[in-house]
Amino acid sequence: MTPFHLIPAGLLTGEAADRAVAAGEACWLAGERLAFTTVTQLSRAKDGSGRRAAMSLQAAKETAAAQLAALSAPRRPWAGFDLARPLIMGIINVTPDSFSDGGDNADAATAIRFGEQLLEAGADILDIGGESTRPGSQPVSPQEEIARVAPVIRALAEKGAAVSVDTRHAAVMEAAIAAGARIINDVTALTGDPDSQMVAAKSGADLVLMHMQGEPQTMQHDPHYADATLDLMDYFTERLETLRQLGVGANKVSLDPGIGFGKNDRHNMRLMEELAVFHAFGCAITLGVSRKSFIGRFSRKEPPKQRVAGSLAAGLAGIARGVQILRVHDVAETYQAIVIWQAVSA
């Protein structure tokens, strides 16, 4: 187990980043879009909790050169996409009960039209799910899930869309790949079905592995971590090693910290603040904060569809920490926000 992790800090963009890197005062973060000038050393105390201590970049170069190299290395293409710019993953819930848009696209024809609209609005990827995993949701049989998503996946893939299937069931993964999906997005990080790891590995699909503590029905009932960031680092270390043994490299994987999945607001904010630490794995990072309930709790308890502004703010906070993929409901608004952020940060 790694004795400590480095959390990049003092992040810079644009010409300031170029100058600092050229002067040896900063390192690139996951490529050449952002740079960091200092780090926080994160390690475990004897009781399992986290200890954080400021560390200069020079000290990190002397004691953790391999970690710095991993944090700085450009990401290889994922799912056929160049990760030099942020990607937008548009959400299509073919369900009657998803937390923010349940029923909006519950039939195939409506979902297909909605997918076409998301592509026109700027979506790079369409993430199609047939089972709600909101807190307290009830499971759906794989057969019902396949009936919901397969026609939508097939129609949109035939139109040339890059399609992701949002599922935790191996049978649904197989059916989705056969229908044209090229990405598997699993909220259980391929642990929810004993067959899913092998199915995913054999499929050749690119993967999104999300962290979730517990099950959707109970995950928000007093979630607990010794240290949220460290616990997720350990979790993803194990997941990636298991996949490596199955022949799946880190370049095929995107990691999602699972904001709001078995986490309270304190855990969520800690992970949002320290997102850059996950670049040490060499994987793309996916962030799903769109319309999440924490936005309403911090604001004025707005219902999901009135959390667009908070969703954009949280998404841009992720991009400012090097996140490569935003999973969102509001594609047009996200596209506009990213374009302006890039223009200001150039």
Q: What is the pLDDT of residue 222?
A: 86
Q: Answer whether 226's CB lies under 8 Å from 235's CB.
A: no
Q: What is the pLDDT of residue 99?
A: 57
Residue labelled with tokens 């020079």: 58
- Of the residues 292, 297, 307, 321, which is catalytic? 292
239 flagged as catalytic: no
Cα dist from 336 to 283, 312, 315, whole Å? 26, 10, 12
Tokens at 330, concatenated = 């509001």
- Of the residues 168, 263, 307, 327, which is catalytic? 327
Q: Which CATH class is domain 87-345?
A: alpha beta
Residue intervals in the chain for CATH 3.20.20.20:
87-345
Question: pLDDT below 70 — which residues of the chain?
Answer: 1-2, 97-106, 136-137
Q: What is the pLDDT of residue 101?
A: 58
Q: How many Å is the maximal CA-CA distance in the chain?
A: 58
327 flagged as catalytic: yes
Angle value at C-alpha 344, between 254 and 320, nearest 5 degrees: 30
The phi and psi torsions of 12 (rounded to 5 degrees) equal -125, 155
Q: What is the pLDDT of residue 97?
A: 60
136-192 pLDDT, tens digit each = 667 889 999 999 999 999 999 999 999 999 999 999 999 999 999 999 999 999 999
